[in-house]
Structure 1
Amino acid sequence: MFLRLLLRRRAHVNITRHLDRNMKMRLQRALAWLLGLSGLHVLAMVLLEGLTPGDALWLTLTTLTTVGYGDLSAATPAGRLATTVLLYFAGITLLAQLASDYIDYRLKQKDYMIKGLWRWRMKDHVLIVNSPARNPAVYFQRLVDQLRATDQFADRPVLILTDAFPDGLPARLREQGVVHYHGESSDRASLAAVDPGDARAIIVLAQDEYSRVSDSVTLDVLMQLNDLCHQRLPYTVAESVEEDNRRRAEAAGANTTLRPVRAYPEILVRALVAPGAEKILENLFTHHDDHTMRYPVTLDQVQWSDVACQLLTAGMGTLMAYVTDTGHVECHPAPDHRFSASALILMVREEAIPTAHQVREALADLTATPDQPRSD
């Protein structure tokens, strides 16, 4: 079944390219005939009417385009016959046919672009290879929104290599300036058609975030991209379903790898904009390595920088946010921000998770009231 679909897709692309070549040849033939007839008419006007080459060309163009200013015209019977045969019967008809074929060609070209059958020949673009197995349109919209919100990629063209949109990308994506090339991600011809060597950045998505088979496809894509780019791959982020395959993906050419997190495409964008930040964000989604903890600590009108420094010095972790008495969570305010809190949220190390009592002890100087002695 898969082989039949693949052969059908390739046959469709080959037929499309064949039709495209035929249309170009028709346009070239029609233009050649039109130029030949026009040249013969110019020569006839010079020989039969005694016009200068410039006047003969002017008469030919005004007659051919049916403008007919009337400042020049054929006067002799032979000149009129030449104009009738070369321009009225053949030239004008041929010009109309040429215009019609050109419009048809442009419409067909637009259809190719919409359906992903057009080679864009981009430079400095963001190339995305593959698409999620579920809700690809929604995912791409959120991913592109995040890219457009950054200074580095706000104006970069985005090209997607995917077979998920045979009838064209959704209107919302096209409005965002996104285009696609319809093809299999592991097909070498399709990979070459999206100009990976000229890309600003490459994102290789896992086809199925729940299947380890996706990692095999990703590794194959990375190796082919490396070969196409002559071992000079642009900055590349690749998704890896299995943790053990991340090292293999990086050995195959990926600058960084991360787990597929479809609900948060922002992580992918962070990997492009601030390489390494994706590792911190990934840790927030797991309960191993560094992760966040909430501690019930009451603070009254303290300064953010004082609390953060005191906790860090005591080895309690990194202060990320505080919780107000009403339950509102305020994340990472300015250093001189003063606040009151009912709880603190810290990023702690898995091997050194402090207790609530230890956190309170570390902040004893800040939590002491005028009626209470401050600890030394």
Structure 2
Amino acid sequence: MKFLVAMSRPSRRGHLQSTTRLIRTLRRTATWIVCVLALHILAMIIFEGMVPFDALWLTATTVMTVGYGDLSAATVPGRISTMVLMYMGGIYVLAKAVGDYTDYRAQMANEKARGSWRWNMRGHLLIIGQPVGNAEQYFIRLTDQIRAHESWIDIPILLLTEVFRNRRLPSSLADRGIALWTGNPTEIQSLEAVTPADARAVVVLAESGTDSAADAGVFDTVDRIRGAGFVGPIVAECVDQLNRSRLMRAGATTVIRSVHGFPEMAARALVAPGAERLVENLFTAEGDECRRYELPEIWHGTWTELTLRLVTAEIGIPLGYADPEGCIHSNPVGRAIEARAIFVIVHDRHQASAQVQIARLLRG
């Protein structure tokens, strides 16, 4: 899977200074090596009487430690020049430069894993906050569900959270191309580091699934993101549904219940805006409700026929059924079925009489 992730400068001032020092060191090293090589070429021309190309060939094979043996220094001054210039002044310095660069790459990889590397992303999905419980599994399920949608397959994902502070980003998330910034959205530096204005979409998680005080933190984060110039969709979690309108006024485009055990809710809100309200209704007893109705006898027929009967009679909309063995099947379009019970979305005014109506409608 390809992810459009680009890296920029290190995150904090100390890291930026480290990068600057490395660049300066590499530049000085490169200049030093060029001078050493030029002097060795000149020494081979003067002491060994080589033509310029042969001197260049000998210098190149020596510094790369290849040593074909077709050319070599024969005079004492030539050999001394090779030992001083190439062995001490060239190969050692080149090896040290390679070592410095390798150390820098290792440091960079460590900073990325610990969430202290600043990513310069564009068109990414920004997920802010920390779910209650197993955060690793929550983020896995959430991101997998989002990327399962055809228009979000290659979306780069960046987490702004403190849940992995003092430890590394789990490999299960890193292997999915998920990047991490360890910080709090109330910190200006942290919010700037995740470039919210350049994101494609933002998901803001509440720090609690039951404490309505968490809504204040979500409100503040949404307001800050809009203040940073972000104009895309923001999916925000809300504990107290009375705060839903306040979050919408703050700039959230979609507000969902804080259900940290069900990250698929946030995924639906992102890839199919509005679907989350339908899913929420299935969890409540108000208005339309998904109910199970036992049938007086096993019903044989097609799913299309069963659906048409219930919809035409204005009883409700079937979602699935239980077969004689008790296995649950969801919307088996085009299939012949044997149903022992059916699951139907029924409006509250029909719920009391639906059992009788369904039994009469599907009998025989």
5 Å-filtered alignment, 1:1-376, equals 13-45=12-44, 51=50, 53-74=52-73, 79-165=78-164, 166-228=166-228, 230-233=229-232, 235-298=233-296, 300-335=299-334, 337-341=336-340, 343-350=341-348, 352-356=349-353, 358-361=354-357, 364=360, 366-367=362-363, 369=364
How far the C-alpha of 1:324 sits from its partner, in A, is 4.0
Give the SS at the match of 1:319. Answer: strand
In structure 2, runs of 5+ residues without a counterpart are: 1-10
In structure 1, distance between residues paired with 2:95 and 2:230: 51
How far the C-alpha of 1:280 sits from its partner, in A, is 0.9
Q: Residue in 2 aligned with 1:5? A: none
How far the C-alpha of 1:264 sits from its partner, in A, is 1.2
| Residue identity in the other structure for 1:187 | E
In structure 1, distance between residues paired with 2:80 and 2:196: 59
* 1:310/1:363 contact within 8 Å kept: no
TM-score in terms of structure 2 length = 0.83
* 1:307/1:363 contact within 8 Å kept: no
How far the C-alpha of 1:331 sits from its partner, in A, is 2.6
Give the SS at the match of 2:351. Answer: coil
In structure 2, distance between residues paired with 1:131 and 1:13: 23
Give the SS at the match of 1:315. Answer: coil
TM-score in terms of structure 1 length = 0.80
How far the C-alpha of 1:284 sits from its partner, in A, is 1.4
Indicate the percent of aligned positions where both proteins have the same amino acid. 37
Q: Deviations over 1:301-347 (max 9, x none)?
A: 24433332332233322222334455443332224534343x43221
Q: Tell me which of the two structures has the higher relative contact order, counting C-alpha pairs closer than 8 angstroms and 6 or more residues apart.
A: 2
How far the C-alpha of 1:261 sits from its partner, in A, is 0.9
In structure 1, distance between residues paired with 2:113 and 2:79: 48
In structure 2, distance between residues paired with 1:218 and 1:207: 8
Instruction: Provide closer, same or farther for how the CA distance between residues 303 and 94 of structure 1 changes in structure 2, counting only shifts above 3 A.
Output: closer
Q: Residue in 2 aligned with 1:374? A: none
In structure 2, distance between residues paired with 1:362 and 1:245: 39
RMSD over aligned Cα, in angstroms? 3.0
Give the SS at the match of 1:119. Answer: coil
* 1:304/1:339 contact within 8 Å kept: no
Q: How many residues align?
A: 352
| Residue identity in the other structure for 1:283 | N
Instruction: Provide closer, same or farther for how the CA distance between residues 57 and 131 of structure 1 changes in structure 2, counting only shifts above 3 A.
Output: farther
Instruction: Provide closer, same or farther for how the CA distance between residues 361 and 172 of structure 1 changes in structure 2, counting only shifts above 3 A.
Output: closer
Give the SS at the match of 2:158. Answer: strand
In structure 2, distance between residues paired with 1:43 and 1:169: 53
In structure 2, distance between residues paired with 1:58 and 1:183: 54
Give the SS at the match of 1:257. Answer: strand
| Residue identity in the other structure for 1:93 | Y
How far the C-alpha of 1:281 sits from its partner, in A, is 0.9
| Residue identity in the other structure for 1:172 | S
In structure 2, distance between residues paired with 1:118 and 1:53: 47
Instruction: Provide closer, same or farther for how the CA distance between residues 198 and 56 of structure 1 changes in structure 2, counting only shifts above 3 A.
Output: farther
- Of 149-158 and 170-179, more deviation after overlay is shown by 149-158
